[in-house]
Amino acid sequence: MRFNTRGIRYRLVQVNCFKNTARQSLHCHSQLLYQMFFMLYPFVKIVTNRQGESSVKKLMAQHDYHIFKIKTLEMTVGGEQGIFYQIVQPDWVNIIAFHKGQLIVEKQFRIGCDQEILELPAGIIERDEGIIAAAERELLEETGYKGCGQLLSEMLPNPALQTNRCHTVLIPETTNTGQTQPDSFEVISTELMSLSEVEAAIMHGQFQNALHIASLYQYHLHQKNLFL
């Protein structure tokens, strides 16, 4: 079966269900749905009523994939029922940290894009952990630099699907402890760059993490006193 939408062709793998019971057939189709979820979700019709009001009627399913969960919700929107999806994730924190006037940046391999990229120190906020505490911990673990942070801003990474928020913490002054504690499978190299060098890296496609670029823009606005 083929989809040809927006000039992109998708080939779906046909799933054969050899069991005859209704439950087994439903399970088979459910597995196909979740395997194809990320490819198909732009084509799911989302209905909104004129007042923009909606109510969750029923949690249909929840699947845990360790770093995120997917909830399937049956919702009533403007008197109509539909199936909606939520990606439930913990909050993230991006860290803008300076050492002797230079920005602390990292290079590490990212499995999603399958390449080594340049980015800010960042991480997941653990349960019952404060935003600033998480930023200071991540900076120390990943780079060996230590400092006191202040909350700069927050943003919604993907409000159409994701429940989490991404926070930006500024650490204007740091000291280098020389000791890092990266997580398993993290191979991180740390660099110091001037802001003009980072801007050039963004312009030339060498710094491509969208949320990190957004955090740097928020810092730029902060420096211009546009944030309260």
Least confident of 17-21, 57-61, 168-172, 208-212: 17-21
Q: Mean pLDDT score of the chain, rounded to an integer?
A: 82
Q: From CA 213, how far away is CA 85, in angstroms rounded?
A: 27
Select the more confidently predicted residue: 132 or 185: 132
- pLDDT > 90: what percent of the chain? 63
Residue 9 · residue 2 · CB < 8 Å: yes
What digits encode the pLDDT tens for the residues 65-79? Answer: 888 999 999 988 778
Question: Mean pLDDT, to the nearest integer, of 90-110?
Answer: 98
Q: Is the pLDDT of residue 13 over 90?
A: no
- What are the domain boundaries of the chain? 1-43, 44-88, 92-223
71-92 burial: b if 16+ Cβ within 10 Å, else e: bbbebbbeeeebebbbbebbbb
Least confident of 51-65, 101-115, 186-200: 51-65
User: Taking the CA atoms of the chain, what radius of gyration do you get in angstroms?
Assistant: 22
| 8-13: long-range pairs with CB below 8 Å, 24+ | 10/39, 12/36
CATH fold group of domain 92-223: Nucleoside Triphosphate Pyrophosphohydrolase (3.90.79)
Residue 141: strand, helix, or coil: helix
